[in-house]
Amino acid sequence: MASSLPDNAGADTVLSVFDEAHKAFRAQLSSEELAEISSVSSIEELLQAVRALSENHFLHKSRYKTCARKITQFGQSFAPYFEVINIFVQTNPEYAGLVWGSIRLILKLGGHYVTFLEKLGSFFDQMREQLPAYTDAIEILRQDQNRDGKRFDRRLLVSLSWIYKDVIQFCYEAYKLLSNKIPLGFRSKQRLIWRISWEPFDDRFGSLLKRLQWHSQLFEKELVITQLELNMTQLDSIRKQQEDLRLLYDEFEKEVITSQQLKEKQERNWERDEINLKHRCIARLKDWLNAPDWEDAHDSALSRVKEGSTDWFFSDTKYRNWWSTVTNSWKAKEKANNMTLIIQAKPGYGKTHLCSSLVDQLRSESLDFSSDAMDSHNRSAVCFYYFDTTKPWTVSAQCAFQALLTQLVHLYMDDKEAIDAACMMMYHGLSGQRNASKNEVLALLNWLLRRYPMIVLVIDGLDETNDVEMFLTDLRIALTGHTHRSRQKINHAVSSSDQTQSEYPPSSDTAIVMFARPDVPLPQSLLQSSDLLLLHNEQNLEAINDYLYDALEYLVDNGLLGNEHNIHHLAQKAALYSDGMFLWARLLDNYLRTDGLTVQERLDALNNLVYLKGLKNLYDAILSRLNGAYQISQAVTLPEQASKLTSPLGRIIPNFRDAIRKMTGALLEVATDDSVVFIHNSLGDYLHLRRLDSDIDTTNLDASEARIDLATSCMSYLTNCLPGEPLSGSSSVTPDLRYQTKRFPFLNYVIEYWTAHVASALRTGIFKEKHAKFAKENNRIRDSTRLLLSMVRRFIEDKKQ
């Protein structure tokens, strides 16, 4: 409550307590409320105003009159307080006027909440009972002021100032609960009213009543001492009363300190609870949005970017001009015509690396055009998403918007209004689903983008989404909220190159950067309302040269290339054959590191790069190398195959993550989520075209062998690795899924898919045996199929037992 003042506090210090309380209350009032409070300046005017309010009350008039009577009785008992104060110091009449005006304002606002007003009236009545008899003390104190050698204890004046501050604070608390002008927000007001509803007034404001009781005792002791001094009698009694008074003051000050500490602790607890509630709410929001992970893809791409290798992109004139247009429009708070930048480059160019560098730079160089450090509306931020066909769960348009929206929720988690809006959508949204629908995601994303205009949306791999048209349509909805355009109009825009529609998407404060292949179909209207940056081979030539120089330097340092070669020349030569494709340079590096290559073979490759030019030739070389490295020199017999498939579970390949790269010539890699994916989506295109090409020998890519191998591996795991009994050890005990998954990592997959793999493999074996053109393979296929059937029989017979 009030802070403790020193015993020797001067009149100016005590008056500052009145002034601070007076100003703090008035600062929360509107001009209309100030005028209303100022209209009542005395207790007489208050009584007159209360009578008018009581007569004009529209409902529960008798209950309202009872409340008004209790509150006005308090006012009448408290009125002499100001006469007592003015004996010692001359106070501003507005201090008293604030009390009478606030009481009238409380009665007026409480007209609609009679039940709550009755609680206030009861508490005013309790306060009145604790007030000392100020009227009886006025004459004694005035006589003491006129006496020579008078005793004036400033602590009396301090205690009087505390009473004023306590009464004003209670009036302010009552006003806050009844007024619509609450600075805390709707939900905070609900929590405050809930606490008042369930927490008794005596518990919430008990310290105020206790201080009034202390003040009454202090005041009465002061009057006793004053009376004794005036009569010049009972000197021993005066000393005793003075000592009692000192102890009372000490105890009172301790109580004030204890009360302050308790209040601070309670406020810390409330603040902690509110923070925990906010974190739980945000976690629930993220679960509701159900977005795929986005940061892993960014971190993975950024980790492969060499420092300085993308500087050329940020120095590009077209990019710099576009970014300058965007920042100028934000600064001037005016919409620019072209807020979208489309960056196109051929497959393997390194667009994902450029995207990760762009995101990283936009994060580190956030713009702020606000004069208020706490205002985030005029501060730029970046949200991003990577489409990747090697990870099928990332290619839908809805996943992209879920990820973008979740990033915005995370970025602005301290914005209570934004979180409240998101929660309102979650609990009272359009669908009522456990997870957010597409319409809910787009509606909330549109609201946040309008609330925070300085956002940059960065999209990588636009060509890799499963529906470019749908993504662009949903993007327009997210930016404008308009859904009236039909899908047929968008189709027409894609197919018509000479017809211009209205802007698509319309001009928006949100900046957009999209990376895509040049052959991705885009609406003509989108191209006309965007800046197009087409990247060429020579732009990243120097960066590729630096990358290859480091790669060749690694080979030399590890004795894989010899020491008598000009790696500067070799790197420059290789960079010229890359055709501007970072992927080609990366594949060449992986190829040169392949185990089994001699120094001379690496040099021959570097000196005859014409045979490795282009992704297709390089993929051919890697696959050819793999085919030669893993070619079986002698057919595996049936017993040998069975022995291989029944290897103990504990025998695992060490360093399996790195082993995958070596076994596949770095054509496969382990993603951050531990899934095994192609090094690039162009590898899938290459393998598909290779399979369709009848002139290419694809025996090393036989799908039938893969099906049979998958089926036999599943059956081997079931029959040889799992125990022939309930996993928990007893049929009456349910096994713990988490423990069993850790014990048998392959179990979930095998249980779900073993029947499908076996059926597919058996169909393949029967088909192969019926066609004479596969005669050379018949023995191998027949043996594999026979082994598979024997394992299925063994598994079924074992489980019957």
Which of 76-85, 188-197, 616-625, 647-656 holds the top average pLDDT? 76-85
Mean per-residue pLDDT, 449-461: 92
Query: Considering the entire predicted model, what is its pTM?
Result: 0.58
Confidence band of 506 (pLDDT split at 50, 70, 90): very low
The correct CATH number of 295-535 out of 3.30.420.10, 3.20.20.100, 3.40.50.300, 3.30.43.10 is 3.40.50.300
Residue 511 has a pLDDT of 94
Confidence band of 403 (pLDDT split at 50, 70, 90): very high
> Higher-confidence residue: 636 or 566?
566
* Domain layout of the chain by residue ranges: 11-278, 295-535, 538-631+664-698, 638-651+702-800
Measure the CA–CA gap between 662 and 239, rounded to whole angstroms: 97
List Cβ neighbours of 573 (8 Å cut-off, separation of 6 or more): 606, 609
Residue 492 has a pLDDT of 39
- What is the token pair recorded at 297? 């893809």
Residue 462 has a pLDDT of 94
> Higher-confidence residue: 144 or 766?
144
Confidence band of 754 (pLDDT split at 50, 70, 90): confident
Going through 647-694 in order, the beta strands assigned E by DSSP cover 668-670, 676-678
In this predicted structure, the answer to whether residue 372 has a pLDDT above a threshold of 70 is: no
pLDDT tens-digit map of 76-109: 988 898 888 888 778 888 888 888 888 888 888 8
Lowest mean pLDDT among 580-594, 660-674, 721-735: 660-674
* 3-state helix/strand/coil string of 8-26: CCCHHHHHHHHHHHHHHHH
Taking CA atoms, 203 is separated from 1, 131, 252, in Å, by 15, 19, 19
CB-neighbour burial class of residue 218 (10 A; exposed 0-12, middle 13-18, buried 19+): buried
> Higher-confidence residue: 324 or 216?
324
pLDDT tens-digit map of 117-139: 888 888 888 888 888 888 888 88
Residue 788 has a pLDDT of 64
| DSSP type of residue 293 | P
Residue 497 has a pLDDT of 34
Taking CA atoms, 362 is separated from 34, 302, 411, in Å, by 48, 14, 14
